[in-house]
Amino acid sequence: MAEEDSFLYALSSNNAWAAYKSHQNPKFFPKLAEGQAPEILWIGCSDSRCPETTLLGLQPGDVFTHRNIANVVSPTDINTAAVVEYSVGHLPIKHVVLCGHTSCGGAMAALSDNRVGGVLDCWLAPLRAIRDQHADELNAIQDTKARAARLAELNVAAGVKVLMANPVVREAMRTRGLEVHGCLFDIASGRVRDLGVGTGSKYMMNGAQSQGEEVVVRGQHAQLVFSGGSAVMKVR
């Protein structure tokens, strides 16, 4: 039996998905083609295990996205700056989310001084700087995976500071209440956890969220309702 071609399989899968969505809602794709109005900007890692729309349980059109190796946010990166400026300045973005993840290859590489090769060493330099700044804390963590996860959290915290210093973001925070969140995606559980950095921690889960307060994060086709330490997705 010949080895299955992964790209041909992907095309076939796309055809089946498109047919199913059209059958489910004939207006879905025509409406999508009219334009986008996402309320969430997601800045994440390029890791194949972290597809933002899928893990959030949302739909095409709900999340404007920028991803790179190890979700690094640098003030001199014109690519990230362009995404932020367009989405925050020209779309109805209400939430900017910077999300790292566990088992991050970039964080693991940054824990070592060994060369990765090529441009990757330059790209990971900010993570190694964060590693050095928090060397005592990180060295005290015996488990390598746990140490890398903590570095991923610290990287998110540093990136959130850069985002909140961005002039477009600052203006939107001041004039229309834009919120900036730092999160970590736990691949082993599938859960996204608010790290409590950014403009506030009212969305924090695992018992840290304010009890009795219902928070709704709306997308174009669905919404997440946070209440009492749990979340429910509702299709709109």
Is 23 one of the catalytic residues? no
DSSP one-letter string for 171-210 = HHHHHH--EEEEEEEETTTTEEEEEEEES--TT--TT-SP
Exactly one of 62, 66, 95, 104 is catalytic; name it: 104
Exactly one of 47, 62, 131, 183 is catalytic; name it: 47
Exactly one of 66, 95, 101, 193 is catalytic; name it: 101
* CB-based contacts of 151, cutoff 8 Å, min separation 6: 107, 110, 111, 127, 130, 131, 134, 138
Q: Are 38 and 63 in contact (CB under 8 A)?
A: yes
Query: Which among 166, 179, 169 has a CA at the least distance from the CA of 88?
Result: 169
Report the amino acid identity of residue 16.
A
Structure tokens at 36: 């986008």
Exactly one of 45, 50, 99, 183 is catalytic; name it: 45
Is 50 one of the catalytic residues? no
Exactly one of 5, 49, 176, 186 is catalytic; name it: 49
The one-character DSSP state at 88 is H
Between helix 167-176 and helix 144-165 the angle, nearest 10°, is 70
Is 99 one of the catalytic residues? no
Is 47 one of the catalytic residues? yes
Is 101 one of the catalytic residues? yes
Which residues are identified as catalytic? 45, 47, 49, 101, 104
